[in-house]
Structure 1
Amino acid sequence: MAVSDSARSDDDALASPDDDALIDEQERRQHDRDIRDLAGGALVVLFGKMARASRGAFIWVITLLCGLDVQGLYSLAWAVCSTLNKVARFGLPRGTVYFVNQARSSGDQVEQRQQASLAAGGLLALVASGVVVCGLWWSADAIEAFYEKPIGDAMRVMVFTAPFVALAWVFTSATRALRIMRYEVYVRSVCGPAILFAGGALVGLAGLGLFAIAWVQLIMAAGNFLLALVLFSRHFSIRGVLGAARRHLPLRAVARFSGPVMLTDLLYAVLTQLDVLMLGFFIVEIRYVGIYVIARRLASIVLKAPQAFDAIFSSIASELAATERIEELGVKVLVVSRWVLTINLPIFASLLLVGEPILQTLGSKEFALASDMQLGLHILFILCVGMLVQSVFAVAEPLLAMTGRPGLNLFNNVVWLLGNFGLNLYLIPQYGLIGAAVGAMMTTMLINALRVSQIYLFRRILPFRSTQLKPLLAALVAIGPAWWLRQEQEELWLRMLMPTVSYFATYIVTLVMLGLEEEDRMLLGRLTRQWRRA
């Protein structure tokens, strides 16, 4: 017997190197699969996010055809409604992904668990939407009186976007949990902006005003909902989800997870719109709010890259955290942070290089005064700096949520909101629009430093590595030729085109000469294949 045990022990010892090699090979394949999914999914969404930037074309249309005053009133009214829509969503964009992934990894009654989670999410979305609709309908007059601006009737129309927005998010988040990113692109980056642009053009050409624009916003929300429902039905049974609603639902579990996420989303939405909401109160001339909105819309292009990675990274982070593969998760954080920095640096530089001609193109009549143009450029620069910092460390927010600490995001956003509100109270009365931009930039830098310290404290993960110096060096090298070309051009379109093309070309060549990482080559390979298909 002892001989047999000894022989078995020897066999185990001899087999262990092969077993270790097999495990290493499986881990490498899983890592490559995750990187490919990150690259492929994020590129799909990034193209969609950049297409969604065409929503800026809607702002341009109503500014050009209706004027800065109407655009400023619309921006203020929609700032209120879109903020409250985060309550209607009830944190379900993340909650749906989390519970669908939990059901898929349970191994037992997967379909029934998925349907129950989706039914619970849909029911919570409808209840939260009803609260939002009733609350804003009855408080619209009070909000109008507070701002002393005619936005009450428009808000009463826009508030009915809440149920459509909330349910559309449940549907697209369910397919995101399956790592299908393109549906969200179809809904929010193609369908929505197309409806807004067409509707805004019709309203402007017909000489209509704010109330008609509010109806365009509602039609867009309904269109997004219908498309999301059709795409959802390709992978989930609508009848099965409705049938699950008659059974016992995990309402408490979904609400317990999604509730803190909803509060976090709400606070972030208030933060996103805080400058517009406070400028609407402090600034008498609503046209200046319109100028700020245009500059902020341009600067927000810098946030498209992290938003593109958010969906697929959340799914992968949820899976890795559920299986306690923290080391692999740290690698994914580093890769995504480097990719976001690599993508955003040329966008950031190009916005600053061609900001003036872009603002002139957005509405030459509205920016006829040189002082208005300079004001818009200063706001654009300040907001771009803050949003660049936010984009690089944005991965920390979904990381905290998907590793079981959504409460930290809530705490962070409370600190962010209070800090930004306090700075705005001090800076806006003294410095106006510039004060609002500076307040936003300062609090953004503070909160991102806090987030990075938290993911290191609780997960020992840092989004820093020496390889991130390569895109920084390439960005610095590309500035010189682009700046020289900008100064040499006289035509407006050439002042936009030539510096941008020069900067991107020099940046890419320098980056390749410095050497690409393995994950970067995977990303480039995905991009090349999608370009060839197109």
Structure 2
Amino acid sequence: MYLADIIIKFSGNIKALLLGTLHNVASVGVFSVASQITMISDMFHSSIVTVSQPIIAEISSRGDRDQLKNFYQTVSRWSLTLNFPLFLALLLFPGPIISIFGESFTTGIVVLKILAWNGLVNTGTGICGVLIDMSGNTRLKLVNTITSVTVSISLSLLMIPAWGLIGAAIASLSSAIIINLLRLIEVFILFRLLPYNSTFLKPLIAGGIAFSLMWVASWFYPVVDLIHLIVNMPLLFIVYICVLLLLGLSEEDRLVMSRLRRRVENMLSR
């Protein structure tokens, strides 16, 4: 498991090295900024993963398949629910967001949009990686990590010379899709579990409504600078949250939120 973590840590540096070598040094800065912006959603997902690990290990050790299924699906949905509005914001306001770091970085608007999809793939496929890790399949995790890095490097070597920054972003997105689909299949084979059920429609519906309203509003009041961004981004989140509340929380949602809250309180009290 530690070897897999080390490989993951160095994979990002390899992408920057390839981009600087195969394209130009200036593109590394733009790609790095776009990646850092999308890491905000990764932070939410990583926090959920960290809190979920001991709970999944505990449930797995008891062999309670029904509870494991409920927890897996509910936490996966909440991972998507928390990250979905951030994804929508990156699609709606990529220019004003990336221009916070300087007007010269606006060349990375398309890259930012592609990497936003990368984050959605990671969160939208749930916590399948955690399920593999906490069930004792450390060799499988290592194989997945090596596969992910190999695919990412191979696609980067193919796409960066042809398409530069956009090629690097597409390579990242493609490798994320491949490795997450692989994990989904592995979890289904090992546990006969999928992270999806009908309740996954709630954040999608809420996000669709919020996105549509803000998109139509942008026709009349374009978001072109930081001031407009400060006003419109909270509005997007408010509409999203209101629709979610109207759709209602399930009993599983309340149960998982309660367990996660207790786990966080225990971690903070140490």
Output the TM-score relative to the length of structure 1: 0.46
Q: What is the deviation of 1:387? A: 1.5
Alignment counterpart, residue 483 of structure 1, candidates 192, 201, 215: 215
State the secondary structure of the residue aligned to 1:404: coil
1:336 corresponds to which residue?
75
**Residue 407 (structure 1) aligned to one of 127, 139, 147:** 139
2:54 is aligned with 1:315: yes
Q: CA deviation at 1:379?
A: 0.5
**Structure showing greater Rg:** 1
| d(CA) in 2 for partners of 1:408, 1:477 | 39
Identify the match of residue 19 of structure 2 among 259, 279, 289.
Answer: 279
Cα deviation, 1:43-86, whole Å, max 9, x if unaligned, reads xxxxxxxxxxxxxxxxxxxxxxxxxxxxxxxxxxxxxxxxxxxx
Aligned residues with identical type, % of pairs: 29
8 Å Cα contact 1:483/1:499 also seen in 2? no
Aligned AA for 2:80? L
1:451–1:491 distance in 2 versus 1, CA, 3 Å = closer
Aligned to 1:473: 205
Deviations 1:381-439 (A, max 9, x none): 11110111112325111211111101111111121111111111111111111111001
Partner amino acid, structure 2, of 1:505: I
**Paired position in structure 2 for 1:134:** none
- Counterpart check, 1:417 vs 2:157: no
Deviation digits for residues 441-478 of structure 1, max 9, x if unmatched?
01110111110111111111210101001110111111
Between the aligned partners of 1:337 and 1:398, the Cα distance in structure 2 is: 11
Letter in 2 for 1:282: L
How many positions carry a matched residue from both structures?
260
Partner Cα separation in structure 2 for residue 347 and residue 518 of structure 1: 26
Give the letter aligned to residue 55 of structure 2.
Answer: I
AA matched with 2:17: L
Instruction: Please give the alpha-carbon distance, in whole angstroms, between the structure 1 residues aligned to 2:114 and 2:98.
Output: 15
| Equivalent residue runs for 1:28-107 within 5 Å | none
Which stretch of structure 1 is more off in the superposition, 471-480 or 508-517? 508-517
Aligned pair partner of 2:7 in 254, 257, 267: 267
TM-score (norm 2): 0.89
- Give a deviation string over 1:12-58, Cα, whole Å, max 9, x none: xxxxxxxxxxxxxxxxxxxxxxxxxxxxxxxxxxxxxxxxxxxxxxx
1:128-175 per-position Cα deviation (integer Å, ceiling 9, x unaligned): xxxxxxxxxxxxxxxxxxxxxxxxxxxxxxxxxxxxxxxxxxxxxxxx
Is there any run of 5+ residues in structure 1 with no aligned partner, and where?
Answer: 1-260
> In the superposition, relative to structure 1, how do residues 490 and 480 fare at CA in structure 2: closer, same or farther (>3 Å)?
closer
Residue 96 of structure 2 contacts residue 224 of structure 2 at CA under 8 Å; is this kept in 1? no
Can you give the 5+ residue segments of structure 2 that lack an aligned partner in the other structure?
A: 265-270
Q: Report the Cα distance in structure 2 between the residues aligned to 1:331 and 1:273, rounded to whole angstroms.
A: 37
**Using the alignment, how far apart are the partners of 2:31 and 2:142 within structure 1?**
27
Letter in 2 for 1:291: V
Task: Report the equivalent of 2:233.
Answer: 500
* 8 Å Cα contact 2:70/2:252 also seen in 1: no
Q: Is the 8 A contact 1:305 1:391 kept in 2?
A: no
Q: By how many angstroms is 1:496 displaced?
A: 0.5
**1:302 corresponds to:** 41
Aligned partner of 2:267 in structure 1 is none
Are 2:34 and 2:112, in contact at CA under 8 Å, matched by a contact in 1?
yes
Residue pairs, 1:430-445, within 5 angstroms: 430-445=162-177
CA RMSD of aligned residues (A): 2.2
Please tell me the residue identity of whatever aligns with 1:298.
I
AA matched with 2:40: I
1:429 counterpart (161, 182, 186): 161
